[in-house]
Structure 1
Amino acid sequence: MLRKIAAVIAGIIVTAVVLGIVQWLGRQAYPPPMGADLNDTESLKNYVETAPFMALFFVILSYAAGAFCGGFTATKIARDSSRAPAFIIGALFALISIYMMLTLPTPFWFWVLGLASWGLVMAGRSLARSTTSLQKN
């Protein structure tokens, strides 16, 4: 049980770090306008409304990469075939994503890809299971 809790915590940390790195890369490739304060909700809303497609797509890429890495990490640490650690990570970050999409003016395609990308936690889980002999549980 403690191993599964540790797996979820580690998966959450890995997911958040990967999300942050990919989103940082996106901001380097597609910087916000000069003077935009992305910590200010109104400024962020204005940026999202006018952001180029690829700037928003980097956010989707961050979701996908974070989900995959989080599911992989949680499964490796849990060392069993349980779906719970990966599912918890996917559900938590999907809820956070929904909150952000409700808060910001995101286009329909962003909703579809944003929510679908969190299913990649199970792809990460599958890869972890295929590269390790895990206990049945």
Structure 2
Amino acid sequence: MGKSVKVQIQDWIDEVRDDKLDGAYVVGRPLYTDRYCRLDVQGLTSDEPQQFNLQVQVNNGCPNTTMAKLKPWTVAFCLAPMDEPWTPAQIKEALKATVTGYKVTPPKVSNKVDPEDTKDSMKKGKGKKK
């Protein structure tokens, strides 16, 4: 018998390269993507301290038919601190803890970002350009 969709998504999260989870995120840009899923920065929380809203979503054209049934919904999420970045292992564990094998409902956050804040975070190494 094959792996459950929950385990497949958790395995996908484990395969995300650690250098993609270094805390230097740009809102609205994928951190990692392949044929199956993508890990996006969906926005920042509006409360203090601010946190990044990271979400895993199944991609259109996913070759895994079981996982493809979950597109385009969020299948994992976490709120990662902006001021004291988590390690890649902490982010992966937080993401995997939310995987149910079904659509999950992430928290609502603001995706409005002041362009000046983005410029400042780029200078401080908290964001990166592609």
Higher relative contact order (CA 8 A, sep 6+): 1
More strand by share: 2
More helix by share: 1
Instruction: Return the TM-score normalized by structure 1.
Output: 0.29
